[in-house]
Amino acid sequence: MAQNTETEELLDDIDDRLERLRQQFQLYFQGLDKRPPTDERDRLKTLILRSRGESRRWSTKDRFRISTLHQKFLSYNRMWSRTLKEIEDGTYFRHRNKLKRKKAQEETAPPGSPAPIDLPTAPPRAAAAGAAGGPGSLSDDRMRRLYNVYMQAKKRTGEKTNLSYDSLKKQLQKQIPAIKKRHKCRDVDFKVVLKNGKAMLKAVPK
């Protein structure tokens, strides 16, 4: 039983680290971080491969989970490697120019207009949770991801904040009805943007 608990904790840690790594790469590709988290990627890769080698002694459920996490890592890593190669070759400028155009639109757009920088796409389970909450609602998974990206962006811009997850959730959920009424939309999301060197949240009516 103790071994099963240790294995579950290990798998939970790998899952959490993989999600944080995905967010860190997204921040780098958006220009919110100066260096790609390649060292953490290599450390996590080593941990996953070592864990797969040890999984012969694990339960069927745990072996399936480490295999799933490995495939998830490989999928992300292919995408990260492709984008890093584009940046190295100079072919990623089309994305940078797109961000510049969106930033210019943000600076001239009225309050409440869509934000130029996308939050990393929520996984299917998060999207399903949001749908279950009804139009315009934010699922707990989506809200947690938004909060994590927002806090990381503030940290990288040198901003200090003691904003808690619960406080942010209350603020955004309180704004949603007014935003829906103002824009006559059925759904509302939020995105992290940079403006004047500061991380901000922008509403995105849908």
Tokens of 144: 């947690």
Residue-averaged pLDDT of the chain: 79
Helical residues (DSSP H) of 30-59, grouped into ranges? 38-54
Compute the distance between CA of residue 55 and CA of residue 64 in angstroms, rounded to an integer.
9
Query: What is the b/e burial string over 126-159, where b = at least 16 CB atoms within 10 angstroms of the residue's CB?
Result: beebbeeeeebbbbebbbbbbbbbbbbbbebeee
Res. 3 pLDDT band, cuts 50 70 90 = low
**Could you tell me the CA-to-CA distances from 48 to 12, 42, 86, 87, 89 in Å, in that order?**
12, 10, 26, 27, 29
Query: Which pTM does this prediction carry?
Result: 0.51
Best-predicted range by mean pLDDT among 27-31, 64-68, 147-151, 201-205?
64-68
Compute the distance between CA of residue 19 and CA of residue 26 in angstroms, rounded to an integer.
11
> Residue 73 in contact with residue 46, Cβ under 8 Å?
no
- Averaged pLDDT for residues 60-85: 95
- Averaged pLDDT for residues 137-159: 85
What are the residue ranges spanned by the domains of the chain? 2-89, 111-205
Tokens of 151: 């806090």
Compute the distance between CA of residue 91 and CA of residue 85 in angstroms, rounded to an integer.
8
Res. 2 pLDDT band, cuts 50 70 90 = low
- Averaged pLDDT for residues 157-177: 87
Q: Which of 57-71, 98-112, 116-130, 168-182 has the lowest mean pLDDT?
A: 116-130
Encoded amino acid at 44, one letter: L
* pLDDT reported for residue 142: 85
Tokens 């943000």 belong to which residue? Answer: 106
- Averaged pLDDT for residues 75-93: 86
